[in-house]
Amino acid sequence: MWLRNNLNHQNGMRSLEVENLTVSVEGKPILNNLSLTLPKGEVHAIMGPNGSGKSTLAKVLAGHEDYVVSSGAVLMDGENLLELEVDQRARAGLFMAFQYPVEVPGVSIANFIRAALNARQGEGDSFDAIAYYRRLYAEMDRLGIDRKFTSRSVNEGFSGGEKKRCEILQMAMLEPKYCVLDETDSGLDVDALKIVAEGVDHMREDDRGILIITHYQRLLNHIIPDYVHIIVDGRMVKSGDKSLAIEVEERGYDWIKEEMAASV
């Protein structure tokens, strides 16, 4: 017993651990005793039908106040994530790419990302503006974002694809330890999907864990996940490799629901 705990602890120092998480919103249970381990260096995908609780998981991890955790824990490299405020979690290394990125009139993308980087600096550290713009432009070029976008207001008047690319741009600039992508593929055409997927794939590193939440497997054609998990009704019901995603694509979710019903 001691050994196992210790081992978990060791592994826990290099992973995002979701343990028996139960979550409700406005009194309605959404996630039920859900567990998941995302080690650094791996890409996991979470799939599930509409209303299964996929996006709730992303928001709970980010710390949205509408979601109440009634039991369970989330540890990020051993640190209790649930005790941290939203911005503290982000600075500790968690990044969520929003399904619906928020429009912020009057605040330019350059200022926004700069403020986010500034927040990660220690007191008295000076900000190197030239190096910042050099990096920003490089990432923008790679994601095919027009450099003129730096002075545009965050997400305001952006197309769906532009919004999602802007999320990936922020992710690249902030270099998080763990990335949670909440239905980043929704509303994208084939070309935009490819650019976004390449952007994410580019972020794949031994020191980073990536969690992709998606309804369809098409994004997974571009980013091959190490594991695929299926959520139904707030429970983790099945895990497997990439082939599970393809099976879901072909057969839908009903067969999993039937399997579940049969096992009860």
C-beta closer to other proteins: residue 4 or 148: 148
C-beta closer to other proteins: residue 18 or 94: 94
E strands, the chain, in order:
15-25, 28-39, 43-47, 67-76, 79-80, 94-97, 104-108, 153-154, 178-182, 209-214, 227-232, 235-240
Q: What are phi and psi of 216, to 5 degrees?
A: -115, 160
Q: Which two tokens stand for residue 121?
A: 């600096």
Contacts of 177 (CB under 8 A, 6+ apart): 40, 76, 77, 92, 93, 94, 207, 208, 209
Q: Which two tokens stand for residue 220?
A: 């997974």
C-beta closer to other proteins: residue 66 or 254: 66
133 sits near other proteins (criterion: CB under 8 A): no
Q: Which stretch binds other proteins (CB under 8 A): 18-26, 112-120, 211-219, 220-228?
A: 112-120
C-beta closer to other proteins: residue 27 or 105: 105
Please report how many Cα atoms fall inside a 13 Å half-sphere around the Cα of residue 69, on the Cβ side. Answer: 22
Restricted to residues 154-193, the positions that interact with other proteins (CB under 8 A) are 170, 174
86 sits near other proteins (criterion: CB under 8 A): yes
Cβ proximity of 170 and 116 under 8 Å = yes
Interface mask toward other proteins for 91-110; x: CB under 8 A: x---xx-x--xx-xxxx---
Q: What are phi and psi of 86, to 5 degrees?
A: -55, -50
Restricted to residues 55-74, the positions that interact with other proteins (CB under 8 A) are 62-65
C-beta closer to other proteins: residue 104 or 138: 104
Among candidate residues 39, 54, 36, 56, the one with its CA nearest the CA of residue 239: 36
Interface mask toward other proteins for 203-242; x: CB under 8 A: ----------------------------------------
Rounded to a whole number of angstroms, the minimum distance from the CB of residue 65 to other proteins is 8
User: In this chain, which of 83, 85, 201, 258 binds other proteins, going by CB under 8 A?
Assistant: 85
Q: Which residues bind other proteins (CB under 8 A)?
A: 62-65, 85-87, 89-91, 95-96, 98, 101-102, 104-107, 111-113, 115-116, 118-120, 153, 170, 174
